[in-house]
Amino acid sequence: MSGFSFIQITDHHLAETETGLVRGFSPAYALRAVLRHMAANAAAHADFILSTGDLVDSLTPSAYENFCKMMQLNPAASPPGPGQITIEGLRNFPIYIMPGNHDDRALFLSHLFPQAPQTTLVNTTFQHKGVQFISLDMGANAKAVLRRETLDFLSQALKTSLPTVVLTHHHVTPIGSRWLDEFIADDVQQFWDVLTDPGVKADILGVISGHTHMTYEVIVKGIPVFGLRSTSFPFANLDEPVYTLQPPHYRLVTIQDGLLTTRVFEVQL
């Protein structure tokens, strides 16, 4: 396995037009700023971008058309990609895209992966330079639902014994915010039971998530878990929903010699 890096972005919440506002915030302006900063500071060190979901805020064809037009997306044949984007100094840059709870699965697939068959759950895997990435779909509601189909998919994918990064949109461990932590799947312990099986745990490099709009790094049962501040409006880590004007983040993830390390970049708007 040769070392490599990739970039995580998450929770873009784009409106139906690039000038559209969401809660008085311009998500397209912020996303462009993140991608411009990325092109100038981190893209040369990364093999691809990973978006961990919530591409749009309103579940309409126009919102997905806006995403594809803005990013100049050259779509991939099947999820999660890689497609290619050309925007803000990034030219034909590979991107893997997974859906979040704000993504309509039918519209997500028809616009971003038009050759792919329709499915209600987008559970996928891909490999890059000897590392397996498992993308798990916990549904299109704010509260995660860990269906048996998804758990079985995870268990089957882990039979490869490859070093593995698990990707989820919904967060899988409490972060200390009462209202957000209520969105964790009720049966999330089954997820952790699969990952901490003695024959599996040594292969897990980390879990990378979105959904919370907050950056955090914790260790759960010996496994590193990472969340990330959104490219749109961040949340404060409080017990009730509070939107903040904190700058957006993106995360540069490096895998080298069997270890996963990260660096977070903050982008001033």
- Stated as kind and residue range, the H or E segment containing 225 is strand 223-227
The model's pLDDT over 225-239, given as tens digits with 9 standing for 90+, comes to 999 999 999 999 999
The model's pLDDT over 59-88, given as tens digits with 9 standing for 90+, comes to 999 999 999 999 999 999 999 999 999 999
Which neighbouring-strand residues pair with 262?
A: 253
Quote the pLDDT of residue 23: 87
Give which of 12, 49, 36, 45 is closest to 267, Cα–Cα: 36
Quote the pLDDT of residue 143: 98
Provide the whole-model pTM: 0.97
User: Cis link prior to 224 (omega < 30° from 0)?
Assistant: no
User: Cis link prior to 75 (omega < 30° from 0)?
Assistant: no
Q: Indicate the range of 100-109, 129-138, 236-245 predicted with least confidence.
A: 236-245
- Strands in 164-168's sheet, in edge-to-edge order, are 124-128, 131-136, 164-168, 204-209, 223-227, 216-220
The model's pLDDT over 246-260, given as tens digits with 9 standing for 90+, comes to 999 999 999 999 999
The model's pLDDT over 161-206, given as tens digits with 9 standing for 90+, comes to 899 999 999 999 999 999 999 999 999 999 999 999 998 999 999 9
Average pLDDT in the chain: 96
Residues 6+ apart with CB under 8 A from 109: 79, 116, 117, 118, 119, 122
- Read off the pLDDT band of 1 (50, 70, 90): low
Domains of the chain: 4-266 (3.60.21.10)
Distance of alpha carbon 57 from alpha carbon 25, whole angstroms: 12
Give which of 96, 27, 32, 111 is closest to 65, Cα–Cα: 111
The first and second tokens of residue 209, run together, are 């998530």
What CA–CA distances, in Å, run from 95 to 3, 46, 85, 218?
A: 18, 11, 7, 26
